[in-house]
Structures are given as structure tokens and as C-alpha cells.
Structure 1
Amino acid sequence: MDYPKKTQAAPAEGQTVRLTITSRNAKAVESVTSQLLMRARDEKVTIHGPVRLPTRTLKITTRKTPCGNGTNTWDTFELKIYKRIIDLHAPTEQVKKITSFTMESGVDVSITILDR
């Protein structure tokens, strides 16, 4: 007896696009993320996220005195980086509409097309 061959369903129109939002300012990341989500919901796009990645803390410890004399006193400087990931399943034209607005300064948004 021959079993029917399994066929893959035709892929839905569009592609999966990953938006990665990065900044040193937590409020700026949250506001840009909420604007992107609001615009994506208006376009009726399938959304996965936002995924809040752990905050990356970069630390540098240096001596306070430049000459090396005196007591050993140290300064610690920190830089915190906040990151969010949003996956959208939409055609390229809709992604352009969603991401075409004025974002706050200091916020990086990178767009990656995923193969699935």
C-alpha cells in the first residue's frame, strides 16, 4: 500500500523579521519598543515579543591618581546596555511602514531577516 507523500504547506506571504533594539538608556528602549509594537498592531502583523534580554553591565576599575604616588584609591565606572528583541511575520512593505518613524537618539535598531 502506498502512503501519500507529505507535502509542506505553502508558506504564508511575508517573512520573519527580527528587530533588535539596543541602547544605554532604559526609558528610550522601552518607548521605542512600545511605538514599534503599537505600529505593528495597527498593521495587523503577527508579533512575537518583546523579549527582554539581560542587562549587560560593563565595568572598568582605574586608579584615581595618574602618577601612581599616594594611597591606592580606585574608581569604578559602569556602562549598562539594555536590549529588546521583537519578531515580526510580515511582508517587507509592512516592515518598512512599521519602522519608518523618528526614534529617540542613542537607540540602535537593527533589522535581520530570518530563514525559517
Structure 2
Amino acid sequence: MPKVRIKLNSTDIEMINNICESIKDIAKKSGIVISGPVPLPTKRLKVTTRKAPCGDGAATFDNFEMRIHKRLIDLPANEKVLHHIMRMQIPKNVNIKIEMKD
């Protein structure tokens, strides 16, 4: 039976968890069993910059960090469930990728 793999990633962990809960609710109402959401490793992007724009003065630095959170959900291919998932309102800062697997 073919399976659907849904990959989610976002910088906002609350939004990605809300989307995962919505997908779980849709699957539960339809009576299908899903595996996930599986939390994948969080990617941490770090940038260190110097505070002084001209280079004079004490060497002080600013550290900035952005975290990219990822989730993975597998579920059986069901046309009704996929239709509901594709009709969901997804925020702009949440990326979603849906793949069909055999």
C-alpha cells in the first residue's frame, strides 16, 4: 500500500506543532493510523558580527542564531485525508512537502 510522507520545517516551533496536531486530528477523524510526528534534528544557523561598524574601540561581538525545526509524518495514502491536508491554512513561515512512497 502506498504511503504519504509529509515533511514540515519552520523557524517557529509553536506553528509547526500546531500544524502537526491538525494533521493528527484529521487522520484520527478518518480512522487511519499515522506514524509521527517525528522530530528531526534542529538546524542552528549562527552569525557572529562585530558591534563597532568602523573597527575602532574594544572588540565586542554580537551573536545571532536562527533555529530551523523539522517534523516528519508518515500516513497511508488516502484521498480523503490528503484532500483535507492540502486544503489546510498553512502559515507562510511553515514549509510543507508531501511525497508519495511505495
TM-score, normalised by the number of residues in structure 1 = 0.79
Of residues 85, 99, 102 in structure 2, which corresponds to 1:112? 99
In our comparison, the structure showing a higher alpha carbon Rg is: 1
- Residues 26 and 81 of structure 2 are in contact (CA less than 8 Å); yes or no, is this contact kept in structure 1? no
Match of 2:89 in 1: 102
Of residues 78, 84, 87 in structure 2, which corresponds to 1:91? 78
SS of 2:28 mapped into structure 1: helix
What amino acid sits opposite 1:53 in the alignment? L
Shift of 1:97: 2.2
What amino acid sits opposite 1:17 in the alignment? V
Match of 2:3 in 1: 16
Describe the superposition over 1:11-36 as per-residue Cα deviations: whole angstroms up to 9, x where unpaired: x4xx2111111111111011010001
Matched positions, count? 102
5 Å-filtered alignment, 1:33-52, equals 33-52=20-39
Which runs of 5 or more structure 2 residues have no equivalent in the other structure?
Answer: none
Match of 1:57 in 2: 44
Relative to its length, the structure with more strand (as a share) is 2
CA distance in 1: counterparts of 2:49 and 2:85, whole angstroms = 44
RMSD over aligned Cα, in angstroms? 1.5
What amino acid sits opposite 2:94 in the alignment? V
Which runs of 5 or more structure 1 residues have no equivalent in the other structure?
Answer: 1-11
Give aligned-pair identity as a percent.
Answer: 35
Give runs of ≥4 in structure 1 deviating > 4 Å.
none
Matched, 1:27 2:14: yes
SS of 2:7 mapped into structure 1: strand
